[in-house]
Structure 1
């Protein structure tokens, strides 16, 4: 390869081809926006890494056209229904809890919340699906083995210096905008000098320590098929191990905590094999070690996600332990959020203020996810041992074995210990692994939307767990089963695909005219879809949508390209406001002209009328 420099021009440059970068790339591809993705490694992920893919991410994949491909490769939700807390795989089980919305206590509310299911698919299986879809679209270019070295931005764009990893040639790319999705050691975040809160763990945390992960092949079918799940948590910190399912039931990531002083000795393959064998508890199981890694649990989040024409997403701005299955899901939602805003900016339809709303919306979500993940880690590996098993300080292997054995005792002490575990399961485990509120129900309080005054009805239970379907601006559009033609579809299938959608009912003519007026003013299409009207193609035969829309039958709900509600109007009298609503959402400052009190919660009259349709 020649060392001669050359330059390239692209509307969008993405630095990093992990989940966030690929999500942004795939969305931009669907929107027809040319772009280049740089990745310093020579291919997609080659180790399992992240694996839980929740309902909201599957909804994003549904919109981007890869849901079926992901489902075909993934372990389905029905095989994820429990977490087992074990002595060893072959030994006595201590506790089991529902997980990922698949267990009996949670499955109904998860099914009501979304047309999609959470699945288990490791990152090295997910990334190739996303990359193939990007390549098939033929809009963006994936450049593996190309490393971002530096960049400078000015008022009109970004100039990046890139190095080819094989051959060493340097070249420049000129882009209108750049997205930094280059991971926890982000060059982009560092160069922007983004402020962070939290701390970087160094392996000395008294509750957690450093974690060693080993990717293995081992047939554990006899110990798992009867209690299918993605996680099997070994509670003995000396001889136990946690097993994360990669492929049922023969491929795993197994891990355990070790003090920093012991890490190097623990990385010896034979020592690892012996430790894993003890964690399995069956010396006859063959163990093939595929890869070894180590990590410390960070707890950091950026206070700002970017500036000007350069913005960051994914692990570049939120870094936390892999708990609750939130990491890659949050990263994918980051990329999905920023992509539609870049599309409108590049088309000349939006003001720069629209891109600022990416930070307004996503930064609070990232901070919330980091806090939740770290708190769950401490609860699992700290609180459980101190408050449930009653171990104070550094316990010996014999003390730990004695306490675990006491859990099985039929006497008063065993009953008391099991009661403590049951409280822990209810208060910590069930909420940690069935957190529908943060998985699907998170809301943007400000940003590219018309915020409403006043408080909505509260959510029962912990806010990360409880979920209430709402059309309040900032929330993701509620799922409801409806019909289009002869097909049963979700309300979510009516929106997305890079467009604004206005869902309404009777009075649709006035809304169609309002959308036409808005397009003449802003250049942006708003697709009007009447639901449940007499002659409409989209029907609401069971009134599922009418019970959730929270507006009159002739009102409207304006939905953004990412499926979040931008505005809602109680009735057709607000149709004349649509143009100013769109101008505000697109970043033009006309908020003072919009009546943000156009919606109230449904009155008895509204609900009664809805049932007549």
Structure 2
């Protein structure tokens, strides 16, 4: 009864190595709870077959697939909006094979991604204008010959993928809501909704299914809402709230590295790297600093610089005041 009946792992995005987990829970694998309170949303008619927690790429893709199979579902997301940070960016073959079946999504990604020759290399250097210590072409012929897979890998920022997925969901009838609590005339949680600003705080089972409590802030006040479903799926990332609430632990070491991620745009830097040393990742090593520059799109000049962060010796606030000269002096200029 305490064992998780099904755990699925989705691979697809790369930040260095990023895994998105989906945890599925039914009413028979959580601790039983006699409570049937629903705070205004109750009864068998209001129970969804599937409720998804987490509106990242995994949750959004799952919503599309379930809807295509005729399974009613809805999504809860604790953030009040979708991230504008590039986040993960490398999509592997298997994910692209799934996307290939989603109304041509794979083809659309390939059309909008940067040209392959601009991102196929990892570059190791003393600075972005300094000595190149070496470079590695991480792409192989099999990545493009379509013998192993009918579609190739892709380099496409997560926020751009999210935008395409939301467009597909709206096309099949989904609505994105960010107005906090459901209106009083919403007598039940309708399927095909993505409810932003709803943070999952507890999970319990009843005789009729799974009850999920979500916390919502509206007009500066916190409130709770309860939702009923047959199956709950957690697609809320590596620090999954769903995983923690159902008591699933993580094995291995924690906090192996802390990084400061600096998202910035520079057309000049993008043009320079396109002409002089195109690549996806730039590993920068010199006596003053080390870091990794992720070139999300050289043509658009969009980058994320990841710099090691060592608390308590360093404070996060230290980076905000010296970020521009720090970037320029230690990462972008020539080091003798």
Q: TM-score range by the shorter chain?
A: 0.7 to 0.9
Local SS of the residue matching 1:215: strand
Residue 136 of structure 1 and its aligned partner are, at CA, apart by 1.3
Q: Distance in 1 between matches of 2:196 and 2:100?
A: 26
Give, in whole Å, the separation in 2 of the partners of 1:242 and 1:224.
17
- Counterpart of 1:166 in structure 2 is 218
Partner residue of 1:73? Answer: 112
- Indicate if the aligned counterparts of 2:52 and 2:235 stay in contact, CA closer than 8 A: yes
Instruction: Give, in angstroms, the shift of residue 42 of structure 1.
Output: 1.4
* Partners of 1:58 and 1:117 within 8 A in 2: yes
Equivalent pair of 1:158/1:178 in contact (CA under 8 Å): yes
Q: How many Å separate the matches in 2 of 1:252 and 1:123?
A: 13
Aligned with 1:264 (options 298, 310, 315): 315
Deviation at 1:117, TM superposition (A): 1.9
Give the C-alpha shift of residue 47 in structure 1.
0.9
Report whether the alignment pairs 1:239 with 2:239.
no
The count of aligned residue pairs is: 271
Structure 1 pair 210/63, CA: closer, same or farther in 2 (3 Å)? Answer: same
Partner of 1:23: 61
Does 2:264 correspond to 1:216?
yes
Q: Could you tell me which residue of structure 2 aligns to residue 278 of structure 1?
A: 329
**C-alpha displacement of 1:109:** 5.6
Specify the SS of the correspondent of 2:251: strand
**How much has 1:226 moved relative to structure 2?**
4.0
The 3 A distance-change label for structure 1 pair 158 and 265 is closer
Distance in 1 (CA, whole Å) between partners of 2:303 and 2:251 is 33
User: Relative to structure 1, is the Cα distance of residues 224 and 32 closer, same or farther in structure 2, using a 3 angstrom cutoff?
Assistant: same
Q: Deviations over 1:25-63 (max 9, x none)?
A: 121122221111000111222211111112221111011
Alpha-carbon separation, structure 1, partners of 2:316 and 2:211:
45
Q: What is aligned with 2:14?
A: none
Secondary structure, in 3 states, of the residue corresponding to 2:248?
coil
Instruction: Give the RMSD, CA atoms, in angstroms.
Output: 2.4
Question: 2: CA distance between counterparts of 1:161 and 1:225?
Answer: 53
Change (3 A) 1:31 1:267: farther
1:254 aligns with 2:288: no
Cα separation, 2, equivalents of 1:64 and 1:51: 19
Q: Which has the higher Rg, Structure 1 or Structure 2? A: 1
8 Å Cα contact 2:284-2:331 kept in structure 1: no
Task: Please state whether the residue corresponding to 2:314 is helix, strand or coil.
Answer: helix
Q: Note if 1:128 corresponds to 2:163.
A: yes
Aligned residue for 1:6?
40
Q: TM-score, normalised by structure 2?
A: 0.73
1:42 to 80, 87, 106: 80
Unaligned runs of 5+ in 2: 1-37, 175-191
Structure 2: how far apart are the matches of 1:183 and 1:192? 15
Distance, in Å, in 1 between the alignment partners of 2:166 and 2:94 is: 20
1:91 maps onto 2:130 in alignment: yes
How far does residue 13 in structure 1 lie from its aligned partner after superposition? Answer: 0.2
Specify which structure has the higher proportion of helix: 1
Report the structure, 1 or 2, having the larger strand content: 2
The structure-2 alpha-carbon separation of the partners of 1:150 and 1:98, relative to structure 1 and needing over 3 Å to count, comes to same
Please state whether the residue corresponding to 1:85 is helix, strand or coil: strand
Question: 1 CA distance for matches of 2:114 and 2:309?
Answer: 30
Give the 5 Å matches for 1:92-171.
Answer: 92-99=131-138, 101=139, 106-108=140-142, 110-111=144-145, 112-138=147-173, 140-154=192-206, 156-167=208-219, 168-171=222-225
1:524 matched to which residue of 2?
none
Deviation of residue 279 (structure 1)?
3.9
* CA distance in 1 between partners of 2:57 and 2:287 (Å): 32
Deviation at 1:81, TM superposition (A): 1.6
* SS of equivalent to 1:158: strand
Q: Distance in 2 between matches of 1:259 and 1:172?
A: 41
Scaled by the length of structure 1, what TM-score is found? Answer: 0.42
